[in-house]
């Protein structure tokens, strides 16, 4: 197999719509990275097509920082709901359990919406289980927009340095199969169609509309790619990426 890249950053998002966390290693399942987007809040009055409460509706939601209270296992093992216990730190520095009804009420008061809390051991994705983003693409889009873009605004699972260092190289991988690390196999299914979330700075939630405008106008609304997991296993930051 030909090595075509290296995973530089591995990231999961315990609560859908909130900040993510860097991890050194993760078990990749058919549903995605273990622990990725296993909690969510639903806007009870939102559209059925996209019911989630995210920064689309309250942009500072991306400043809430969740973390699991204990490490999730790398090796295959049965987990119970209690194993996913998580704590969230608010932008103001307060801490609460994500499943605490008081925390839900805090969000409802903050955003003026009636919310429902959800937990699923299967990741609650909008589309495919994993997302991949090339770091060269961030640098290219930074030049296009005139902004120094933080890669984390694109909310990917795998941030990759491609061997070719070609901007938007991942676009050429659609329809192909990759192997990441020793065992994980991923089919690159489609380009990642973007929304206004990419306009938000992950550290401040300040909007930069030019980011979405540039992607919509010059990149057909897509940047990064989605993948389906064909073979489960463990992935670590620094693992090679191979063309299968």
Hey, what are 14's tokens? 């315990």
**CB 15 within 8 Å of CB 88:** yes
pLDDT digits (tens, 9 = 90+) for 56-102: 999 999 999 999 999 898 887 677 777 899 999 999 999 999 999 99
pLDDT reported for residue 79: 77
Report residue 144 CA to chain centroid gap. Answer: 23
pLDDT reported for residue 126: 87
Question: How far is Cα 50 from Cα 76, in angstroms, rounded to an integer?
Answer: 32
pLDDT reported for residue 35: 95
Q: What is the pTM of this model?
A: 0.94
Going from N- to C-terminal start, the domains of the chain cover 2-243
pLDDT digits (tens, 9 = 90+) for 108-143: 999 999 999 999 988 898 889 999 999 999 999 999
Q: Which fold has domain 2-243?
A: M1 Pyruvate Kinase; Domain 3 (2.40.33)
- Residues with Cβ within 8 Å of 78's Cβ and at least 6 positions away in sequence, in order, are none
Least confident of 22-31, 73-82, 109-118, 146-155: 73-82
- Residues with Cβ within 8 Å of 19's Cβ and at least 6 positions away in sequence, in order, are 13, 62, 63, 64, 65, 66, 202
- Residues with Cβ within 8 Å of 76's Cβ and at least 6 positions away in sequence, in order, are 27, 232
pLDDT reported for residue 1: 85
Q: 3-class SS at 224?
A: strand
């Amino acid at each position: 197999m030909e090595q075509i890249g290296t995973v530089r950053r591995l990231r999961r998002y315990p609560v859908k719509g909130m900040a993510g966390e860097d991890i050194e290693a993760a078990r990749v399942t058919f549903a995605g990275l273990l622990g990725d987007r296993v909690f969510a809040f639903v806007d009870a009055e939102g559209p059925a097509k996209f019911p989630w409460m995210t920064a689309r509706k309250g942009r500072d939601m991306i400043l809430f920082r969740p973390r699991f209270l204990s490490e999730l296992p790398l090796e295959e093992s049965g987990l119970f709901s209690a194993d996913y216990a998580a704590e969230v730190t608010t932008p103001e520095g307060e801490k609460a359990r994500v499943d605490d009804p008081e925390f839900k009420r805090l969000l409802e008061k903050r955003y003026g919406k009636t919310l429902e809390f959800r937990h699923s051991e299967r990741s609650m994705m909008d589309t495919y289980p994993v997302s991949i983003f090339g770091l060269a693409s961030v640098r290219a889009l930074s030049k296009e927009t005139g902004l120094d873009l933080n890669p984390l605004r694109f909310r990917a699972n795998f941030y990759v340095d491609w061997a070719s260092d070609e901007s938007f190289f991942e676009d050429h991988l659609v329809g192909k199969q990759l192997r990441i690390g020793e065992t994980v196999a991923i089919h690159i299914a489609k380009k990642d169609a973007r929304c206004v979330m990419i306009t938000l700075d992950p550290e401040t939630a300040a909007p930069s509309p030019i980011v979405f405008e540039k992607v919509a106008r010059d990149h057909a609304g897509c940047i990064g790619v989605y993948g389906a997991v064909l073979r489960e296993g463990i992935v670590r930051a620094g693992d090679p990426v191979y063309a299968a």
